[in-house]
Structure 1
Amino acid sequence: MLKRLLIFAAPLLIVAGGAHAADDKKPKEVGQYVDLQPVAMPIVVDGRLVNYVFVYVRVNLKAGADVIKIRDKEPMFRDALVRDGHRTPFVLATDWQKVDEAKLIAAMTRDASAITGPGVVASVSVTSQTPQKRVMPPRPSPPDKP
């Protein structure tokens, strides 16, 4: 009985496998965003390099933007981010293993709008942060003595 079932099921499995292969050939939808390659942001405290944090940034585009044309500008986005990060590092005073996302997003939004032109960038988000090394958090400052 099992043998008969397998004989009858074999053609159905072949047909189902072919249908699945046809699904793989459909073009994938292109999202309205540009993902930047990871960028190493320096963590500088008191003029001393303490750490690097590798950030993954996504520039979300408005509907109707020419995604292919703007994705070609990805190296320009990274260059702008590196320049901003070295000019005024996005350092959190409480954690040397993360960057200040609010400052980074504000700077990258400004730069991305300048690179693409007005009305193209919807938002910027930091998708991931990975520190180069684990470092101790900063010590709290001692209380003032009267």
Structure 2
Amino acid sequence: MLRRAFISALPLTLLAGPSLAAGAPPKEKAAGGQYVDISPVALPVVARDLVVNYVFVAVRLNLSQVANIQKLREREPFFRDALVRAGHRTPFTSKTDYLSLDVERLKAVMLKEAVRLGGKDIQSVSVMSQTAKRRTGVPKPPSA
């Protein structure tokens, strides 16, 4: 029985070898730069001094080519803490939608905090994803 399974799997293994070797390069090399991904955090959406929603945000810090990536990746918990503190101090609530955040303001504040914590090697901030905790039952913003 084991012999039959081996014989039937052999052609599939031979076919899979060249296709794996010709595959795309890993993501880090394809991106072309160095970065530190911050674990997703939940940031509040506040309207009229009430929390109406939470948005889970994944952020990436883009680094210069000469940055010490290992040192900066070790500081990821500090970057995440700075993001959470900034998001609770002055929420990044969007004026037009309570299902997402004001990305430009979030990027500006996070860049300032990241440079303060990690130095001049941090070039920019990218928001990779935003996912609202609640999609229904959220009040409409006044400007919508």
TM-score, normalised on structure 1? 0.75
CA distance in 2, matches of 1:67, 1:123: 15
CA distance in 1, matches of 2:84, 2:14: 52
One-letter identity of the residue aligned with 2:54: Y
Shift of 1:137: 2.4
What does residue 4 of structure 1 align with?
A: none
Aligned residues: 128
Within a 5 Å distance, the mapping from 1:1-146 to structure 2 comes to 14=14, 17=17, 31-118=33-120, 120-134=121-135, 135-140=138-143
CA distance in 1, matches of 2:82, 2:94: 20
Q: Percent identity?
A: 50
Shift of 1:22: 7.8
What CA RMSD, in Å, does the superposition of the two structures yield over aligned residues?
2.8
CA distance in 2, matches of 1:66, 1:51: 37
CA distance in 1, matches of 2:105, 2:70: 28
Shift of 1:138: 2.0
CA distance in 1, matches of 2:139, 2:22: 50
- Structure ID, larger Rg: 1
CA distance in 2, matches of 1:49, 1:63: 40
| Consecutive unaligned residues in structure 2, runs of 5 or more | 1-9
Shift of 1:23: 8.7
Q: 1:28 to 1:68 in 2, by over 3 A?
A: farther
| Consecutive unaligned residues in structure 1, runs of 5 or more | 1-9, 142-146
TM-score, normalised on structure 2? 0.76
CA distance in 2, matches of 1:20, 1:140: 53
Deviation string for 1:22-41 (max 9, x for gaps)? 899xx985650001110101
